[in-house]
Structure 1
Amino acid sequence: MARKKRLGFSAPEGRGGWFVTLAILSILAMSTGGLFGLYLVSTVEKAVDEKKKGEDIKKTPAPVYTGDLALRALPSVVTNLANGDDIWIRLESSIIFTNGALQNPDVVVAEIRQDILAYLRTLSVTQIQGASGLQHLREDLNERVALRSKGLVREIVVESLVVQ
């Protein structure tokens, strides 16, 4: 039998022809995959290097509490919650304010404690459960303290919270 030549290429006949073709395609696939892998690795390395350079350039953030600050402990607040007479809450906290900003800190502390007491009596146990509940309570207390002190108190720090 005569071989037919198509486009100037003749494929080898028999089993050996398939193995040669398979070997050529395997080498071609490995080299293509290897080159593509090297390209990806170099791209990732460049991105990591650029990120490190950007982090080195960034300045450290300014501290939140600077200057002449004062910390005043609030008396413990103990009250029952809104959803039952048998569920009690105890909150111990402190306020942070600029020293000298409050004319009479004792009066402001008493007003803030009274406001916190009134607010805690409106809460239910489900509102303060879990980490998100504690975060929401802290944010609500900070808003109330800011309103009560006309913005002179910077933050309220929840030291302990017991619900039983």
Structure 2
Amino acid sequence: MASPSSDETPANGKRGLLIALAVLTLIALVTGAGIGYLLGNTVEASVSARLASAPGDKDAPQLRYTGDLAIKDLKPIVVNLAAPSSTFVRLEVALVFKNGALANPDVTAAEVREDIIAYMRSLSLSQLEGPSGLQHLREDLNDRATTRSQGKVTELVLGTMVVQ
């Protein structure tokens, strides 16, 4: 029987495997760091280019409402939903419009209020659930107010909504 050579002992095999794993780990580390560095520079360059191309003063706050605007609070609206009919909703809303755009803001407010009541009576409770339901309600009420006022109402602001 031939004796095993010193290169083929189990201790040398494990040592070689550990060295190979260490080298592969080092290569993966260097490769990952290099790719991260390159991608980081690419993202930084694209953000810098986007900020440089943006018009306007970057330090000035962006105002949502500018100009001569007026606000008209509507009377609180309490209405039951279509399903379940025992569920009631209380809304407090306000109309935002350019000052002088509406000949009689009280009449427009009453008309918008009637539209909201009719719309709310057609909804079910499941349509109001969650953040997306609230967002859809805001958008639908905004559309109704804009349509009713022939585009003179800038926005309908939903102050509070209580579902009971």
TM-score bin, normalised by smaller chain? 0.7 to 0.9
Equivalence map 1:8-19=2 (5 Å): 14-16=5-7, 19=12
Identical amino acids, percent of aligned pairs: 39
Match of 1:78 in 2: 78
Find the aligned partners of 1:79 and 1:26 in 2 and give their Cα distance.
70
Match of 2:108 in 1: 108
Structure 2 unaligned residues grouped into runs of 5+: none
1:161 to partner: Cα distance: 0.8
Residue identity in the other structure for 1:140: D
1:51 to partner: Cα distance: 3.7
Residue identity in the other structure for 1:36: T
Aligned to 2:16, which of 22, 44, 69?
22
Asked whether the equivalents of residues 77 and 90 of structure 2 are also in contact (C-alpha less than 8 Å), the reply is: yes
Cα–Cα, structure 1 residues 118 and 29, in superposed 2: closer, same or farther, change >3 Å?
Answer: closer
Point out 4+ residue stretches in structure 1 off by more than 6 angstroms: none
So what's the TM-score if we normalise by structure 1? 0.76
Residue identity in the other structure for 1:82: A
| Two-structure CA RMSD over aligned residues (Å) | 2.8
Whether 2:147 is the aligned partner of 1:129: answer no
Cα–Cα, structure 1 residues 15 and 100, in superposed 2: closer, same or farther, change >3 Å?
Answer: farther
So what's the TM-score if we normalise by structure 2? 0.76
May I ask how many residue pairs the two structures share in their alignment? 152
Larger Rg, first or second structure (1 or 2): 1
Asked whether the equivalents of residues 79 and 117 of structure 2 are also in contact (C-alpha less than 8 Å), the reply is: yes
Find the aligned partners of 2:67 and 2:115 in 1 and give their Cα distance.
28
Cα–Cα, structure 1 residues 96 and 35, in superposed 2: closer, same or farther, change >3 Å?
Answer: same
